[in-house]
Structure 1
Amino acid sequence: MNIFMKEKHIIEVNRNLCIGCGLCKNDCPVNNIEMKDKKSVIKNQECIKCGHCVAICPKAAITMNGFDESPIELVKQPKLDSNELLMSIKARRTIRKFKDKEVPLDIIKQIIEAGRFTPSAKNAQNVSYIVLKDHKEKYEEVAVKFFRRIKPIASIFMKDAKEVTIDDNFFFKKASIAIMVLTKDKISGSLAASNMALMAESYGLGVLYSGFFSEVVKHSSKLRKILNVKSKNHVVTTLVIGYPDVKYRRTAQKETANVNYL
């Protein structure tokens, strides 16, 4: 089984439903399926449990147990409008001014879902989340006190820190929520955070990647303790999310991409 997963999942093939098309065998990234008597056979249960075989089978003959939900049937393949998506990306701005308006819990759950369904390295699914909502001011207060103490040192290594004013709302900017993204694998956590930010923006929300807060959590044992962040977990980023109280009227210019076509 996938050693990173919390639960044990068993892959099974219903031989009565299997038509021997071989799609699952050809699509398995770890070559864990073989054909015997024109039927698919799982070699062993030590694969990464990516679910490709479950997703590709035209007869739903392959199942994987141990989950709280069933696969969603894709009657119609989802399709994004490429022009609208690219324009949404071009129009993205880091938000630092938020309205005094609460983000509904069902939207927060959808943002988490965007992270949960993001592909992870080796299908580890080892990204976790801490939602700072009703008591986020308590954690921000601890972080502010810590950052004020270390600012002289931080200014030596970060030129921008010299000009920064650390007020009581320095980290969360009075936003409705902040979501900490934690993982042992920085790449998987970063990919999840990016999808979460896009989902938040699809609901008209603004997002601030608070690198400063993530760094404080990394170095403050007190903050890690009250947040119950284990030493083995890395805080990839903290997404500060709320309804923006600012409107940008045009995109920002970017330098030409450095691309080599080989």
Structure 2
Amino acid sequence: MTPNTNPPTGRTAHSAVGVALIDGVPLVREGLSALVHRTPGLRWVGAAESPSVGLRLCERLRPDVVLVDSGLDPRGQLSHLLAANRDLGVVLMVDEARRTTQYVAGAVTGGVRGVVLRTAQPPQLVKAIQSVCQPDGRYVDAALTVNLTAPVAGPLRPNGARQPLSQREHQVLQLIADGLENQAIANVLFVSVETVRTHVKSILRKLASRDRTHAVAVAFRSGVLTLDGAAHRSRPGVN
């Protein structure tokens, strides 16, 4: 374990975000440490080379965000344990071996707030860290976008058929999965925030979800959202 020598302190609204890493590769640990040190608003807490050491690091130093290598968490147990702490934002770095719908859906359902590729570029890592430390914040790597061209299932109608999402609802759900808030979605789709809110309410109803994060988790688990390296995005402006 390579912790920061500074004692842990509770984060206020204006203090730096404490970042930790659980990864078995020294070069990755050193690289993320350097990235955090040179990024304003971030504070390096420390790194661990194994799950057991990582758990102890998080318990003792209380980071705000912890990044976890999926290679050290093949069954998702470590990230689920960490995500049980509601004050800790967990970002899972997914390698190619675990770039599957089942693995990512399990992570999201288990409380992981951020999912990025292990090969993500520094700006993406910084954005993921900054996103998941916000209240109800989450981040999905653009490289793990979902295919919205497949039929989307909704609640069963009385005749047994499923109520599908509209194409616009597809787009909104995609952007929610990308980590965008309502105003940002409105800007992308050139619609009002109130229109976005209406679409979100419809998505939650059709997917029988309690909130936005739950909707994405349900969509992954049910196959509504599937990982596809060549995923096609619906074009904004199409109703």
Q: TM-score, structure 1 length as denominator? A: 0.28
Higher relative contact order (CA 8 A, sep 6+): 1
User: Which one has the bigger helix percentage?
Assistant: 2
TM-score normalized by the length of structure 2: 0.29
